[in-house]
Amino acid sequence: QKEVEQNSGPLSVPEGAIASLNCTYSDRGSQSFFWFRQYSGKSPELIMFIYSNGDKEDGRFTAQLNKASQYVSLLIRDSQPSDSATYLCAGGFGNEKLTFGTGTRLTIIP
Amino acid sequence: GAVVSQHPSWVICKSGTSVKIECRSLDFQATTMFWYRQFPKQSLMLMATSNEGSKATYEQGVEKDKFLINHASLTLSTLTVTSAHPEDSSFYICSARDPARPTDTQYFGPGTRLTVL
């Protein structure tokens, strides 16, 4: 069974600091990974996707993928209060379906 | 990113009635759409995969006769909750795959909050 694991948190980070969110997965056949942000009562919003080992940067966000260790992470630099949300990690297996983690609740403290 | 809409955004209905939820891709043609359900403080649970012009593929444990899915065009999929009961109250979210983007990339609609009295 394909599983994606996340620490549910909550994770509290001071404003301006780097928030680090981690995710591990069990299926080595996973081909793609996605980070979604979900505000309370809203639907998920795609932040980034990553396919290749290494880092991928987009503005304040950096996704990191290590296939050998089967983990993917999301770094948020210069954290803002508006970054407070639940972050969902998801793995794709090339068949279009995504397997979601349970999400990590992030709180940025002003 | 691609835009996906859902209608209605919320609905309250009496037990035993049926509710239809629409999911539309606004700026792309979606050959594949997905329907999820999310209970409070839980992650998304995939209910079914909807393919244009063919029958939906339901996940294990999801009753296909209760959750009717129709994907009649490349921009519209509908989910009908038949004979809804209070335990069907949940946040229903659709997503669509943009064929122009890499495989597995999904864009989510804003969700429909269903409350069954």
Q: Quickly tell me which residue has 């038949």 as its tokens.
A: B82
Assign B112 to helix, strand or coil. strand
Note the pLDDT of residue A29.
80
Strand partners, B115: B12
Sheet with A4-6: strands ordered across? A4-6, A19-25, A71-76, A61-66, A54-58
Q: What residues of B are in contact with residue A44 (Cβ under 8 Å)?
A: 44, 93, 108
Task: Write the DSSP assignment of B36-103 as a string of letters.
Answer: EEE-TTS--EEEEEEETTS--EEPTT--TTTEEEEEEETTEEEEEE-S--GGG-EEEEEEEE-TTSPT
Note the pLDDT of residue A96.
75
CA A40 to mean position of chain CA atoms: 16
Contact in structure between A104 and B41 (CB atoms under 8 Å): no
Is residue B108's pLDDT more than 90? Answer: yes
Q: What residues of B are in contact with residue A103 (Cβ under 8 Å)?
A: 43
Whole-angstrom Cα distance, residue B93 to residue A23? Answer: 23
Mutate: best of B9, B35, B41, B44, partner A, most A CBs <10 A: B44
Note the pLDDT of residue A2.
67
Note the pLDDT of residue B117.
96
Across the interface, of A43, A92, A100, the residue whose CB is closest to B104 is A92
Whole-angstrom Cα distance, residue A50 to residue A30? Answer: 11
Q: Please name which of B36, B41, B104, B108 lies closest in space to residue A103, comparing C-alpha atoms.
A: B41
Q: Nearest-CA distance from A73 to chain B in Å?
A: 18
Q: What is the mean pLDDT of residues B72-79?
A: 92
Q: Tens digit of pLDDT for each residue in B8-54?
A: 999 999 999 999 999 999 988 888 999 999 998 888 999 999 988 88
Whole-angstrom Cα distance, residue A88 to residue A97? Answer: 15
Largest CA distance in chain A: 42
Q: Tens digit of pLDDT for each residue in A74-90?
A: 999 999 999 999 999 99
